Structure 1
């Protein structure tokens, strides 16, 4: 699956898209592929203040569990409740399925964000 060029990426395999004044976060196709069939997505606490890089939640598969990280400092304002009942949405359509949304303290905080080509190179998928 091609890596969409309309967003940024973290070395920890999250995709990051800005939507007005919000930061929308999901996981990449590479992440869901390496994890395998997802059985749980959660532990995201709406209302929590996080620093960039802090664990924001978890994705669990039949193989392993992995943290999802905050790409910026700010407040978690939404969790995609559809994932509670159907975590496999991330396997089926990782770039169309968001996990959580944040309101950034500093919207220009983009430390370490990669473009699609940079992410593919770092993830070894080129």
Structure 2
């Protein structure tokens, strides 16, 4: 039986590897859009799955592994904030605000939708 720290750490490693791979594969897509679509997509998917995980009948060990672990490693608040700052520094204020609103509003919406699954 794994300890809670093992469940979270193992899940976080998986989530971080999925995020890294997705970010690498989506570089051509990000070059076509002014919005950081890869980070936005990962964070929205993470919010959806976290909403589901936290309201599911799964045992607490699975909730730790999937929610705190995988979703914690998959999603990234710090990258989103950094991308917003970079957009603003490059005088793309409208894009930065759009990204912020989509991230926050979309995250809340997707999290709520996840609770309905």
Report the TM-score when normalising by structure 2.
0.27
Which structure carries more helix by proportion? 2
Which structure carries more strand by proportion? 1
Greater relative CO (CA pairs within 8 A, separation 6+):
2
Q: Compare CA radii of gyration and give the structure with the larger one.
A: 2
Report the TM-score when normalising by structure 1.
0.26
